[in-house]
Amino acid sequence: MNKIPFSPPFVNQDVISEVLDSLSSGWITTGAKVKALEEEICNLTTNTNAVCVNSWTSGAILVLKWFGIKEGDEVIVPAYTYSATAMAVLHCGAMPVMVDIAGDFTIDVNSIENAITTRTKVIMPVDIAGWPCDYDAINALVTKESVKSQFLAESDKQALLGRILVVSDAAHSIGSMYKRKPAGRLTDLTIFSFHAVKNITTAEGGAICLNLPSCFDNYEEYKLMKLYTLNGQNKDAFTKSQAGGWKYDILFTGLKVNMPDVCAAIGLAQIRMYNSLLLVERERVARSYHSFFSKHQHFELPPLEDESRKSCFHLYALRLKNCTEVQRDSIIEEITQKGVAVNVHFIPMPMLTVFKNLGYKIEDYPVAYDNYSREISLPIYPQLKNEQIDYICEAVLASYNKVLLND
Ligand SMILES: Cc1ncc(COP(=O)(O)O)c(C=O)c1O
């Protein structure tokens, strides 16, 4: 069996044609393709406004700045996520307050409540692997009178909302469902990632979905966020490039985080075949792993579907039973030697230098550490053939047996 990569992008003739169309159109940065992608994201998520940006990270910084986040503010995040979730908070001068997770990888709602202070401005739950958090509980928490009454508004947007903002880190979860609603419609704001390994990619990129309560005009906030993506400039590059369109103004200190059309073209082709092909194929892979690993007692399966949620199968986060971190690492070595690239999602943030230096300690997050120490993410993508899936399953089982059972 040839080597099996972890997560190659899905590039077929439709993707290539859409990119070539952008390249030959005479316009490669933000323009018609981005607009079309924003519309497709709205269709998929049953939303009316989505802003494309050049990464999840820049989208998160934009949203936090839009809400007026600054030094002295606190943003609650799970300890178990990619560092970008907390990094965006640090970039705004605020403090990420990390809380532990529950056994299904999602942020522990009870821990959120205990972490809320008068400085808390935002909660950022993360849909790890595409598995939605308990959004009813989180949304109920921020509207609870005892929590609302603690909220200290220090910007116009904060005063208008009058409570903690919920921004879901949906970097993994485009296409996931929670209580019949799609990711993108579950919290005030949702941010997707279109990084190269994501279910839908634009090479690098992301999108912010606006679902703010009715005290906001979501379209007005969409327009404001579009300005934020372009240095606060009141005219986009396309309009400015037209004959006679040279004059512009800069209205405020924005960012420069717009998505180029040539990148949007990849995502545009992919999103059009997402429900009919890409998601179906990801589910095939996840269900195949499920049927194999459920027959073996040493494995704990990741959640894929229950009565209220359905994953979009972004990662297959297998956990090993009765296994230490060192043994898990040895099992990964064995799997690697068999030519299969696997990964770990995630090294909890308190284990990373930048956060250790800020005083976070992994001992405070026992569930995050337990899940990390036993986790191996298996390859999952539409191109994966059934015989490759079989090979991966056997490679994982043989590696487990060798390391833990001396078999
Ligand atoms: C949970 C999570 N949040 C945020 C990000 C950051 O996304 P981006 O690379 O688009 O900035 C990632 C990236 O992998 C992620 O996994």
Ligand 1 centroid to 170 CA: how many Å?
9
Ligand 1 pocket mutation, candidates 55, 57, 167, 375, criterion most atoms within 8 A of CB: 57
For 216-230, the pLDDT digits (tens) are: 999 999 999 999 999
pLDDT of residue 336: 97
**Average pLDDT, integer, range 26-40:** 97
pLDDT of residue 23: 98
Identify whether the C-beta of residue 60 lies closer than 8 Å to the C-beta of residue 207: no
Q: What percent of the chain has pLDDT over 90?
A: 95
pLDDT of residue 405: 86
Ligand 1 centroid to 136 CA: how many Å?
24
SS3 call for 74: strand
For 201-215, the pLDDT digits (tens) are: 999 999 999 999 999
DSSP 141-167: HHHSHHHHTT----SHHHHHH-S-EEE
Query: With bands split at pLDDT 50, 70 and 90, how would you rate the model's confidence at 241?
Result: confident
pLDDT of residue 236: 84
pLDDT of residue 237: 82
Closest C-alpha among 121, 79, 116, 76 to residue 97: 76
Q: What is the mean pLDDT of the chain?
A: 97
Ligand 1 centroid to 398 CA: how many Å?
32
| Closest ligand 1 atom number to CA of residue 128 | 1
| Closest ligand 1 atom number to CA of residue 195 | 10
Ligand 1 centroid to 241 CA: how many Å?
33
**Is the model more confident about 181 or about 237?**
181
Query: With bands split at pLDDT 50, 70 and 90, how would you rate the model's confidence at 283?
Result: very high
pLDDT of residue 407: 80
Ligand 1 binding pocket, CB closer than 6 Å: 55-57, 81-82, 84-85, 126, 169, 171-172, 193, 195, 206
Ligand 1 centroid to 297 CA: how many Å?
32
pLDDT of residue 174: 98
CB-based burial of residue 3 (10 Å sphere; 0-12 exposed, 13-18 middle, 19+ buried)? exposed
Cα–Cα separations (whole angstroms), residue 396 to 211, 323, 333, 342: 42, 14, 11, 10
Ligand 1 centroid to 233 CA: how many Å?
27
Query: With bands split at pLDDT 50, 70 and 90, how would you rate the model's confidence at 240?
Result: confident
**Is the model more confident about 245 or about 105?**
105
Question: Measured between alpha carbons, how far is 97 from 315 in angstroms, rounded to an integer?
Answer: 25
- Which of 30-39, 141-150, 239-248, 387-396 comes out lowest in average pLDDT? 239-248
**Average pLDDT, integer, range 299-318:** 98
Residue 1 has pLDDT above 80, yes or no: no
For 258-282, the pLDDT digits (tens) are: 999 999 999 999 999 999 999 999 9
Residue 81 has pLDDT above 90, yes or no: yes
Query: With bands split at pLDDT 50, 70 and 90, how would you rate the model's confidence at 161?
Result: very high
pLDDT of residue 300: 98
Ligand 1 pocket mutation, candidates 81, 195, 347, criterion most atoms within 8 A of CB: 195
Identify whether the C-beta of residue 241 lies closer than 8 Å to the C-beta of residue 215: no
* Amino acid symbol at 210: L
Closest C-alpha among 16, 11, 37, 10 to residue 260: 37
**Tokens 């979860």, residue?**
173
pLDDT of residue 369: 98
pLDDT of residue 132: 98
- Please list, in sequence order, all residues whose beta carbon lies within 8 angstroms of the beta carbon of residue 347, skipping any fewer than 6 positions away: 372
| Closest ligand 1 atom number to CA of residue 205 | 10
Query: With bands split at pLDDT 50, 70 and 90, how would you rate the model's confidence at 250?
Result: very high
Strand (E) or helix (H) holding 345: none
Ligand 1 centroid to 387 CA: how many Å?
30
| Closest ligand 1 atom number to CA of residue 58 | 11
* Amino acid symbol at 79: A
| Closest ligand 1 atom number to CA of residue 346 | 16
pLDDT of residue 269: 98
Beta bridge partners, 122, equal 75, 165
**Average pLDDT, integer, range 94-117:** 97
Ligand 1 centroid to 198 CA: how many Å?
9
| Closest ligand 1 atom number to CA of residue 57 | 11
Strands 206-210 and 189-193: antiparallel
